Amino acid sequence: MHRIEEKDGLLHVWISAPGFKKDHFDISLKSERVRGVDIEVLHVKASNKDRVLGPTEVHYPVVLSAKAEDVSAAYEDGVLHLEILFEEPKAKKIKVS
């Protein structure tokens, strides 16, 4: 089960991952080019010798501007909870000449 929600300037991601420990998670935020557009993608990998989290890796495109230091993670009761602080992209006025 995965759930994503935006609230109070934070993007919340919950991932159901029972049976893991905190040190089984590998989480990173990487810039990637998708169809000619640079976006930030949150990579979540979890594994131990007995189990693997669903697909080996779960990828969440984060279209809003985010930095690795703006991501926090907590694991409690079998659920990984990520919070990503972001800034709303500001619209730029384009002058027609």
Q: Is residue 92 part of a domain?
A: no
How many domains does the chain fold into? 1
pLDDT band (50, 70, 90) for residue 74 = very high
Distance of CA 37 to the CA centre of its chain: 18
CATH number assigned to the domain comprising residue 43: 2.60.40.790
Residue 94 lies in a domain: no
Q: What pLDDT does residue 20 have?
A: 83
| Local structure of residue 23 (DSSP, 8 states) | G
pLDDT at 46 over 50: yes
Rounded Cα distance between 7 and 37, Å, is 25
Is the residue at 79 inside a domain? yes
Residue 59's pLDDT is: 64
Give residue 80's domain range: 2-85
Asked if the structure places residue 46 within a domain, the reply is yes
Strands 10-16 and 79-85 come out as antiparallel
Per cent of the chain over pLDDT 70 is: 64
Residue scoring higher pLDDT (61 or 3): 3
Question: Is 36 within a domain?
Answer: yes
